[in-house]
Amino acid sequence: MISERYVWPSMKADVTLWARTCLQCQQAKVSWHTRSKLSDFVPPSARVEHVHIDLVGPLPPSEGFRYCLTCVDRFSKWPEAFPLLDISAKRSQQLSTEDGSPGLDHHSG
C-alpha cells in the first residue's frame, strides 16, 4: 500500500481522486451495487386483501411499550400502528385476530 512508504498532508484525498480517474482501476472495480429486478406484484382489488406488516423496535419505552406492530393496506395505503409490550408470537397473533384482518401475509423479514 502507498501509505506504507509515503505520507503527505492531502494523501487520502489525492489517492481517492487518482483511483476515481484511473481507467484500469474503474475497469477492475467490483460493483457491489447491483440492481435487482422489481417483483411483479398483482395489484390488490379490495381493501384488506393484502396487508404489509412489520415489527419495529426495541424503542425507548413509552408507558411500558417498547415495540410497534405496523400494518399498511396495499389497496388503500391505510397505515395502522399498534404499541406492544413484547414481541411474542402469541401477542402478535392476538392483534391480527382481534381486529379481524385476514390476509396479513407479507412481512419484511
Reported as type and span, the H/E element at residue 102 is none
pLDDT digits (tens, 9 = 90+) for 47-71: 988 888 998 989 999 999 999 989 9
Name the nearest CA neighbour of 27 among 35, 19, 36.
19
- Name the percent of the chain lying above pLDDT 90: 24
pTM of the model: 0.49
Pairing of strands 51-56, 106-107: parallel
| Domain residue ranges in the chain | 51-84
